Structure 1
Amino acid sequence: MIAASLPQELTAWGMFWAADWVVKAVIIGLALASIVTWTVLVAKSLELRAAIAAERREHALIDGALSLADIAGHPQLAASPLVAAALAELRLSTDALDDREGVKERVVSRFERIEAALGRRMARGIGLLATIGATAPFIGLFGTVWGIMNAFIGISAAQTTNLAVVAPGIAEALLATAIGLVAAIPAVVFYNHFTRRIAAWKALLADCSAAVLRLVSRDLSRGIRVG
């Protein structure tokens, strides 16, 4: 008899349309956050896959070279900022190549700034995942608290605790918590995944930096003047 008298359709869609406007706003915001999470997943996965593959090819070419001159005009390394930075520093230090340690120190300084800039660029979008993962459950909880508060107001107005009065409002409130978890859990998982992948990419970038620095050191030891 109680179930037959329920005034609302207790489905997710029905609860959404019957919810208070604040709860609706919370659910819509969380849904948008979930869309952002999956968009970052697709975009960053493609970006990282391409970047890691490029770094592996670059490292293989640089590590197998005998001198910086061997790779200076290589088409696959034309866009390499590390090779370009090493060549630029050697050109600027033409009159100071006898100071090998000074040259290498300046090359390392250039590499550090390049690695930092590339790292910041690769990490774009990851902060959104961290923010969504940290805040979505609390935003959903806010919607839940607001919805339950409205449910109690409804109980007071109806002067009854009948399930037909209590259940819809509480169900609508709990829907906000559920949507918050749906938005937060993938964001946290993806954030941790991309943190590991970016760390692997940074390790490859550091390997490339070390390989270029070895070529610079080798050329300086041989007295070869590149550029």
Structure 2
Amino acid sequence: MTTPAAGAAAANSNPYGLMAALHQGGVIAWSVFIILVIMSAATWYIMFTKLIEQQKVLNQAKRVRTNFWGTPTIRDGVNKLEKNSAYRQIVDDGLLAQEQHTKLIDPVDQHEWLLGSLSRSTAAINSKLGTGLAVLATVGSTAPFVGLFGTVIGIYRALIKIGAAGQASIDAVAGPVGEALIMTALGLIVAVPAVLGYNWLVRRNKVVAEQIGVFANDLHGYMVSNGAVRPLLVSAKAATPVPPVKTGSAAINPKA
């Protein structure tokens, strides 16, 4: 009768598995495994940090619609924006450009000067949002090949041992070769989340970039018109319909 201790010892003595593949693969197998672990850790770290960063900017966009455009002046509105936020940076750069325009010696159109400043500001924000995505793309494209390299080395070592032992039966070949394929599986496990995360974050970055571009355009129109031009949504909410004055004359109120 087999005791539980004997059953556990038999399970732990399994000659195949990840640890057995690493021990048999030597330094190369361990190097491939460590590289894949580092790639996976970097992938998940970048995915979570970029997701949090994008969500913060999206939440700021919601507050800008209600807080910033509802103030009488830009100076009042900028105080309601979070410090070190993307939208605060755009407004600060716009105000700075407006002040610098008055100090220029050569005449430059204010429209072009503000447009260039706001374009540089939005480009800097979009560039910051895109940092780290190249790592995800690199991991997604190279991790399968790193795992495949470990598999090739594992199969090579297994075939060398089988040839030296002179055993070419199915049980002698299938075990070591199947064990070497673990590295390919690890490479795919690392690559698939990186590719999916990259595509998802790029799509969210496009949404954030569109919102920032719209805000910069609205701010540009507001500044060059001295506050006469505001976003349509705010103007529609702020404008209240004035009922026609009925004095009994059709000339004053034709629809009366």
- What corresponds to 1:85 in structure 2? 93
Matched to 1:207, the amino acid is V
Matched to 1:83, the amino acid is V
CA distance in 2: counterparts of 1:8 and 1:166, whole angstroms? 16
Per-residue deviation at 1:162? Answer: 2.2
Kindly indicate whether residue 81 of structure 2 is the aligned counterpart of residue 76 of structure 1: yes
Unpaired runs of at least 5, structure 1 = 223-227
- What corresponds to 1:163 in structure 2? 170
Of 187, 196, 207 in structure 2, the residue corresponding to residue 189 of structure 1 is 196
- What corresponds to 1:225 in structure 2? none
**Larger RCO, structures 1/2 (Cα 8 Å, 6+ apart):** 1
Matched to 2:40, the amino acid is S
Per-residue deviation at 1:11? Answer: 2.7
Of 89, 94, 97 in structure 1, the residue corresponding to residue 102 of structure 2 is 94
Kindly indicate whether residue 20 of structure 2 is the aligned counterpart of residue 14 of structure 1: yes
What is the correspondence of 1:91-130 to structure 2 with a 5 Å cutoff? 91-94=99-102, 102-130=109-137
Per-residue deviation at 1:9? Answer: 2.3
- 8 Å Cα contact 1:10-1:168 kept in structure 2: yes
Kindly indicate whether residue 29 of structure 2 is the aligned counterpart of residue 23 of structure 1: yes
- 8 Å Cα contact 2:136-2:197 kept in structure 1: yes
Q: Deviations along 1:174-203, whole A, 9 cap, x unmatched? A: 011000000000000000000011111111
- What corresponds to 1:61 in structure 2? 67
The range that moved more, 8-17 or 187-196, is 8-17
Per-residue deviation at 1:119? Answer: 1.2
Structure 1 runs, 4 residues or longer, greater than 6 Å off: none
Q: Secondary structure at the match of 1:20?
A: helix
Per-residue deviation at 1:70? Answer: 4.5
CA distance in 2: counterparts of 1:175 and 1:166, whole angstroms? 15
Q: TM-score, normalised by structure 1?
A: 0.83
Per-residue deviation at 1:75? Answer: 3.1
- 8 Å Cα contact 1:137-1:181 kept in structure 2: yes
Report the aligned-residue RMSD.
Answer: 2.6
Q: Deviations along 1:104-154, whole A, 9 cap, x unmatched? A: 111110111111111111111111100000000111111111111112211
Number of aligned residues: 213
- 8 Å Cα contact 2:90-2:216 kept in structure 1: yes
- State the identity %: 27
Flag the structure with higher helix content: 1
CA distance in 2: counterparts of 1:36 and 1:29, whole angstroms? 11
Q: TM-score, normalised by structure 2?
A: 0.74
The range that moved more, 182-191 or 116-125, is 116-125
The range that moved more, 182-191 or 203-212, is 203-212
- 8 Å Cα contact 1:59-1:208 kept in structure 2: no
Computing the radius of gyration over CA atoms, which structure comes out larger, 1 or 2?
2
